[in-house]
Amino acid sequence: MANVALRNVRKAYPNGFEAIKGVEFEVEDGQFCVLVGPSGCGKSTLLRMVAGLETITGGDIDIGGRIVNQVEPADRDIAMVFQNYALYPHMSVYNNMAYGLRNRGMAKDAIETRVQEAARILELNALLDRKPGQLSGGQRQRVAMGRAIVRQPKVFLFDEPLSNLDAKLRIAMRVEIRKLQRRLNTTSIYVTHDQLEAMTLADVLVVMNGGRVEQIGNPLELYEKPATTFVATFIGAPPMNLMSLTDSDIRLPSGAADAGIVGVRPEDFHLSNGSLPEGGLAVELTVEAIERVGAETYIYGMRAQKTGATAISAKPGELPPGEVLVRIPGQSAPAIGARIRAVAARDKLHVFSADGRQRIAP
Amino acid sequence: MVEHRRFGNLLPHIVLLIGVAIVAFPVYLAVIGSTHNDVVISNGQMPLYPGSHGIETYWKTIVSGTGKTTREPVGSMLISSLIMAVGIAVGKIAISIISAYAVVFFSFPFRMTTFWIIFVTLMLPVEVRIFPTYKIASDLHLLDSYSGLILPLIASATATLLFRQFFMTIPKELVEASKMDGAGPIRFFFDTLLPLSMTNIAALFVILFIYGWNQYLWPLLITTRDDMQTIVIGIKKIIDVKDALTEWSVAMATAVLAMLPPVAVVVLMQRLFVKGLIETEK
Amino acid sequence: MENRAIFSGRLLAPLLVLPQLAVSLIFFYWPAAQALWQSFLVQDAFGLSTEFVWLENYVALLKTPEYYHSIGVTFVFSTLVVAFSLAIGLLLAVMANRNIKGVQIYRTFLIIPYAVAPAVASVLFIFMFQPGLGMIARALQRAGIDWNPVLNGNHAMILVVIAAVWNQISYNFLFFLAGLQAIPKSVIEAAAIDGARPWRRFWTIVFPLLSPTTFFLIVVNITYAFFNTLGIIDTATEGGPNAATQTLVYKVFQDGKAGADLGSSAAQSVILMIIVIVLTAVQFRYVEKKVHY
């Protein structure tokens, strides 16, 4: 049991590329921390630095009150679940789990007890004599988990452990991982690029971008009060609409002086021709496309003014400039080409500085 | 990885340097040997640095010959070697790419039989059927001819297998699409298959060139005339006169000349060589 | 074999396979068949009459002590060549696989021996080991060893083994390196986290995962030691002294060249063919299965 603290951690490669540019956060004992961000943001590198698989070139990593910068992975008392599971293909499931314990010189019967216990928890008893090649993806995933938990380490590290599973299994395993972590109460750091996975698993969510931390907090906090436009578009699906206040059709009744961008989540818009609520925002749109997914309907509308603020949050998969996504419950929707008016209440507006790096209101 | 090795990265460097020394030393000595005169070498007094007789020795070796041991200067042997090596490489590639093409993309009677006939030749290396093969070559009047040097060595299951394996990775849809575009089998071969196979052909060429250049047993038997000899055979005749009578400087110059083309090919086309080596065997 | 036959070419396809089939039949099958046929025949001294004698040539062959001697030589020679060239190749590959600077340069040097013809490699080593003038021979003599591969059978054996090992290092190095690079990095990392130090990691994880490569190389190296070293032996020792370096393949070559006993020579060839067939079969069976996984 331990907490993990990162203090101004940096990683620069010999070619000068800076992968991690000074990261600072702390995971309390027993907490489930999720690092999330787009690919290339440095989250996996950071996790591997905590594991000792990558050296660090600046700052300190502290596990359970001990600075481990120079400590070999074997001596950090951590266990890791890899994206491709990294099972030993030539060993049986039993030996895969026992290997780490044998290396540490544990007595044979103690190993037996621990492995059997882990196998029981993960329902692997029937598979102990199989080789990894004879297992399904989900079973391999369990073995990788088993190999981590038999060690009873101070910290679990997960490197996108569910990304190789199909959608259904991924959800099931996600729930299982969370239950298991609660039960063992072991400090965990979990890396994923899937914001839904991040939202559902995390006690603490760390959003990373370009080698830096964008925001730290609990998932709902991040959803409700994203600190930057990056977080605003990364957390929540479909992503928040961002509109530039320099566009003539976007008017905030009462705005801070340095406000540059206003964001509205698709689910916070509603269609209305009535009067604008006090301090709210109305956008005139021409309907371009409709997607009905059953319980709700997505309306893609184009504003007359097309410059938009999309350039600020250069995220792939973003709406084209001037397009606004409105998400309304039910299945009724306007016709393509119809003119509509989408309205958001004042408390649903997220106001950011012009560069998107700072939240101004509320 | 954070790792505290006792000697850091020193150990791999030391081991690899020793390895390089073991590998390079014999070659280096041959180069040095080719630049000293025979008296110094025969006395065992050869220093470890180059001498001053290099140009003279190479001139003697390549162009004028010595009359004593080499009955022909090495120049003509180099040409024989080159013709044989290129002939074998090109011949093997040509006949195996078309046979692999037929076996993979055509349906015809005895397709599988054909494949197996080719495959089994893997199990009949020249060394085990050497004299009967010699007899046949002799009956076909192939002795002392380039066709005799090349033809019996160009049937190769390995090259056919490599092409077959590569062709199997070409998606069926590609063939179907090109068929829909109106391409017949010959057009498909030249417009699609051949361009796609270029890297494989180049890699194979590197391997087969070395294979051809370094042939020993077959050219030894099939050539009786000195001017048909390859350099790899010629070198044996130079040192055949054992002990002090051997013209060591000429022998070493010949060795250097015999190594130069294949070593240059391997070093300069390293990437293709490694690819060719690993893919033909697996 | 998967049938992806797409074109039907009753005329074209046979035409395409014809060259390879022709060469295979004329220069591979026909001589092999002749060797097999001759191995059942006995010719009189003048070559005037031949008689079909079933397995008599084989029985006679297996009664000659020279043949057993040659089997012994082949065994010793192949074992030494395979063991040393594999061990050296593996050691160098493991070192080159460590993340160090200059690996490209080391590799460039280490692949050179592959390009050198066995007969030429042999000449390089003769030059170093020639009594009286060779650099290493003189060093050995100074050290009090009466080095003379021309007269001493063991010395001759050592000489051809060294040349054969040297010639084969590149091959084993490259295949081991490719094998090592094919082992997923994360498996090694998992073992490191699981507390295995480099030495233990090598023997419990890396070496077992390398076993398909190792096995493949053992088979290939046996084939190499049996057949491809003829040039080395012929150039360095001609099988001597006193047949101390006369391997089975070299014996076939010598007996055939002397031309004395066609039947016996053919029988020897057939036995070698059987050995190649077994080795090839083992290799392919194994490659299909790929052990472990």
H or E element at residue A261: strand A259-264
Phi-psi domain of C132 (left: phi exceeds 0; alpha: psi -120 through 50; beta: other): left
Q: Do B3 and A71 touch (CB under 8 A)?
A: no
Q: What pLDDT, on a 0 to 100 scale, did the predictor assign at position B66?
A: 62
Helix, strand, coil percent content, chain C, rounded in steps of 5? 75, 5, 25
HSE, side-chain direction, 13 A CA sphere, residue A204: 19
pLDDT band at B10 (very low <50, low <70, confident <90, very high): confident
Q: What pLDDT, on a 0 to 100 scale, did the predictor assign at position B91?
A: 93
d(C-alpha A348, C-alpha A308), whole Å: 19
| A37 falls within a domain | yes
| A26 falls within a domain | yes
pLDDT at C217 exceeding the cut of 50: yes
| A73 falls within a domain | yes
Q: Do C193 and A51 touch (CB under 8 A)?
A: yes
Interface contacts A/B by beta carbons within 8 Å: 18
The one-character DSSP state at A323 is E
d(C-alpha A96, C-alpha A82), whole Å: 14
d(C-alpha A33, C-alpha A205), whole Å: 6
Q: Do B99 and C135 touch (CB under 8 A)?
A: no
| A230 falls within a domain | no
Instruction: Give per-residue pLDDT as tens, C117-150.
Output: 999 999 999 989 888 888 888 888 888 888 888 8
Phi, psi of A33 (to 5 degrees): -105, 130
pLDDT band at A150 (very low <50, low <70, confident <90, very high): very high
Phi, psi of C24 (to 5 degrees): -60, -45
DSSP A10-59: EEE-TTS-EEEEEEEEEE-TT-EEEEE-STTSSHHHHHHHHHTSS--SEE
CATH of the domain at A272: 2.40.50.140
Any CB–CB contact under 8 A between B3 and chain A?
yes
Strand partners, A159: A191
Residue A271 contacts residue A343 (beta carbons within 8 Å): yes
Q: Do B3 and A70 touch (CB under 8 A)?
A: no
ipTM of the complex: 0.88
Find the mean pLDDT for residues A3-27. 92
Residues of chain B in contact with residue A55, where contact means CB-CB under 8 angstroms, are: 1-2
Instruction: Tell me which chains share at least 3 CB pairs under 8 Å with chain B.
Output: A, C
Q: What pLDDT, on a 0 to 100 scale, did the predictor assign at position A310?
A: 47
d(C-alpha C46, C-alpha C50), whole Å: 10
Residue C6 contacts residue B176 (beta carbons within 8 Å): yes
Return the closest-CA partner of residue A151 out of A108, A99, A88, A84: A99
Instruction: Give per-residue pLDDT as tens, A95-111.
Output: 999 999 999 999 999 99
Find the mean pLDDT for residues A12-24. 91
Find the mean pLDDT for residues A226-238. 88
Strand partners, A18: A12
Residue position matching structure tokens 């391999």: A140
Q: At A95, which amino acid appears?
A: N
Residue position matching structure tokens 């060429």: B205
Q: Do B26 and C25 touch (CB under 8 A)?
A: no
Residues of chain C in contact with residue A72, where contact means CB-CB under 8 angstroms, are: 192
CATH of the domain at A34: 3.40.50.300
Q: What pLDDT, on a 0 to 100 scale, did the predictor assign at position B224?
A: 81
d(C-alpha A172, C-alpha A179), whole Å: 11
Class of domain C51-290: mainly alpha
C23 closest CB neighbour out of B41, B151, B242: B151
Q: Do A82 and C205 touch (CB under 8 A)?
A: no
d(C-alpha B11, C-alpha B56), whole Å: 43
How far does A69 lie from chain C, in Å, by closest CA? Answer: 15
Instruction: Give per-residue pLDDT as tens, C148-185.
Output: 888 888 999 999 999 999 999 999 999 999 999 999 99
Q: How many C-beta atoms lie closer than 10 Å to residue B148's C-beta?
A: 22
pLDDT at C43 exceeding the cut of 80: no
Tell me which of B1-5, B114-118, B162-166 is least confident. Answer: B1-5
Q: What pLDDT, on a 0 to 100 scale, did the predictor assign at position A253?
A: 61
pLDDT band at B185 (very low <50, low <70, confident <90, very high): confident
d(C-alpha B280, C-alpha C3), whole Å: 22
Compute and round to an integer the Cα radius of gyration of chain A. Answer: 24
Q: How many folded domains does chain A comprise? A: 2
Domain boundaries B34-278, corresponding CATH code: 1.10.3720.10
| A106 falls within a domain | yes
Q: At A313, which amino acid appears?
A: S
Q: What pLDDT, on a 0 to 100 scale, did the predictor assign at position A160?
A: 92
Check residues C140 and C256 and name the one with the higher pLDDT: C140
Instruction: Give per-residue pLDDT as tens, B187-228.
Output: 888 888 899 899 889 988 999 999 999 999 888 888 888 778
Residues of chain A in contact with residue C292, where contact means CB-CB under 8 angstroms, are: 89-90, 131, 133
A100 closest CB neighbour out of C189, C195, C197: C195
| A353 falls within a domain | yes
Q: What pLDDT, on a 0 to 100 scale, did the predictor assign at position B65?
A: 67
CA C114 to chain centre: 13
pLDDT at A257 exceeding the cut of 70: no
| A255 falls within a domain | yes
Q: What pLDDT, on a 0 to 100 scale, did the predictor assign at position C287?
A: 61
A76: nearest CA partner in chain B: B2
Residue position matching structure tokens 């090919």: B265
pLDDT at B8 exceeding the cut of 90: no
Any CB–CB contact under 8 A between C222 and chain B?
no
Q: Which domain holds residue A342?
A: 238-361
Strand partners, A286: A302, A339
- Give the list of residues 6+ apart from residue A293 with CB closer than 8 angstroms, or none: none
Q: Do B217 and C126 touch (CB under 8 A)?
A: no
Q: What pLDDT, on a 0 to 100 scale, did the predictor assign at position B282?
A: 52
Check residues B281 and A79 and name the one with the higher pLDDT: A79
Instruction: Give per-residue pLDDT as tens, A202-219.
Output: 999 999 999 999 999 999
Instruction: Give per-residue pLDDT as tens, C50-109.
Output: 777 778 788 888 888 888 899 999 999 999 999 999 999 999 999 999 888 888 899 999
Check residues C285 and C249 and name the one with the higher pLDDT: C249
Instruction: Give per-residue pLDDT as tens, B256-270.
Output: 989 999 999 989 988
Tell me which of B37-51, B99-113, B251-265 is least confident. Answer: B37-51
Residues of chain C in contact with residue A87, where contact means CB-CB under 8 angstroms, are: 187, 190
pLDDT at C5 exceeding the cut of 60: no
Any CB–CB contact under 8 A between B172 and chain A?
no
Q: At B163, which amino acid appears?
A: F
Any CB–CB contact under 8 A between B6 and chain A?
no
Q: Do B216 and C16 touch (CB under 8 A)?
A: no
Are A49 and A177 members of one domain? yes
The token duo for C110 is 């280490």
The token duo for B210 is 């070395």
Check residues B8 and B1 and name the one with the higher pLDDT: B1
Each domain of chain C, given as residue ranges in start order, spans 51-290
Residue position matching structure tokens 């040997």: B33
Q: Do A103 and C208 touch (CB under 8 A)?
A: no
Find the mean pLDDT for residues B46-68. 74
Compute and round to an integer the Cα radius of gyration of chain B. Answer: 24
Q: What pLDDT, on a 0 to 100 scale, did the predictor assign at position B165?
A: 86
Q: Do B255 and C198 touch (CB under 8 A)?
A: no
Bridge pairing between strands A58-63 and A66-67: antiparallel
Residues of chain C in contact with residue B152, where contact means CB-CB under 8 angstroms, are: 23, 27
**Mutating which of C194, C211, C293 best tests the A interface, going by the most A Cβ atoms within 10 A?**
C194
C257: nearest CA partner in chain B: B131
pLDDT at A24 exceeding the cut of 60: yes
DSSP B106-135: EE-TTHHHHHHHHHHGGG--GGGGHHHHHH
| A215 falls within a domain | yes
Q: What pLDDT, on a 0 to 100 scale, did the predictor assign at position A311?
A: 43
C190 closest CB neighbour out of A86, A90, A133: A86
Residues of chain B in contact with residue A72, where contact means CB-CB under 8 angstroms, are: 1-4
Are A211 and A249 members of one domain? no
Instruction: Tell me which chains share at least 3 CB pairs under 8 Å with chain A.
Output: B, C
Are A245 and A333 members of one domain? yes
Tell me which of B45-59, B160-174, C116-130, C146-160 is least confident. Answer: B45-59
Each domain of chain B, given as residue ranges in start order, spans 34-278
pLDDT at C208 exceeding the cut of 90: yes
Q: What pLDDT, on a 0 to 100 scale, did the predictor assign at position C158?
A: 93
d(C-alpha B247, C-alpha B146), whole Å: 29
